[in-house]
Amino acid sequence: MYVVQKNSQTKEADVNVEVVEKPDISRSPQITDPAADWQTYQNKEFGFEIRYPADWLFNKENTSSYGPADFFEIIYAPMYKDSIPIRKSWIDVTIIPASNATGRPTFLKCMQILIVEGTKFCKFKEYFEDHIIITAEAERHGIFFTFRLVAEIKNYSYEEQIFDSIISSIRFTR
């Protein structure tokens, strides 16, 4: 690194050179990907995959009132009672042909745009007395994607960060 200072008395520039040793990166702590241990869900029919935290539960539902669709939940359940997970919050995901999608209610305005692989997801929030619902929706190649986080209102920031990371992890395969 070089530092140049101007001497105000002589109006000349004094050059002070500080030699900095090249850091030995082999001794540096390795930066790890916080999502390195996440699980991956793939859907070949609708052409996408997403990643989700390994400590969140994945629940695949095979029924849908939308006709051909994909519906699943990713559940954050940090506590158990009698070996049964107690839901703290969850993300439900519905993927359907756009022709079957009704879209979001008109009173909800897009609060934020999340762009994932060139696809714009509209993110909006609905506040209730004790919980919040955060939704991100997008349409891509005739497929309508809806991700919906349901969390306790008092402290939902962790879950929202995970939600945003899950949305950002989407990879389209067609």
- Could you give the CA distance from residue 89 to residue 84 in angstroms, rounded to a whole number? 15
Mean pLDDT of the chain: 75
Q: Per residue in 66-94, pLDDT tens?
A: 455 677 877 777 666 676 666 678 888 88
Q: pTM for the full model?
A: 0.69
Q: Per residue in 10-66, pLDDT tens?
A: 444 444 444 444 445 555 555 566 678 899 989 888 889 999 888 888 887 655 454
Name the residue with higher pLDDT: 19 or 105: 105
From the number of C-beta atoms within 10 Å of its C-beta (0-12, 13-18, 19+), residue 12 rates as exposed
Closest CA to 170 of 136, 131, 132: 136
Closest CA to 140 of 109, 91, 96: 96
Name the residue with higher pLDDT: 154 or 116: 116
- φ, ψ of residue 110 in degrees (nearest 5): -65, 125
The residue assigned the tokens 């140049």 is 4
- Could you give the CA distance from residue 132 to residue 26 in angstroms, rounded to a whole number? 45
Token digits of residue 103:
């879209």
Domains annotated on the chain, with CATH: 31-172 (3.40.1000.10)
Q: Looking at the predicted structure, is the pLDDT value of residue 116 above 90?
A: yes
- Could you give the CA distance from residue 15 to residue 78 in angstroms, rounded to a whole number? 59
Q: What residues have CB less than 8 Å from 84, skipping those under 6 apart?
A: none
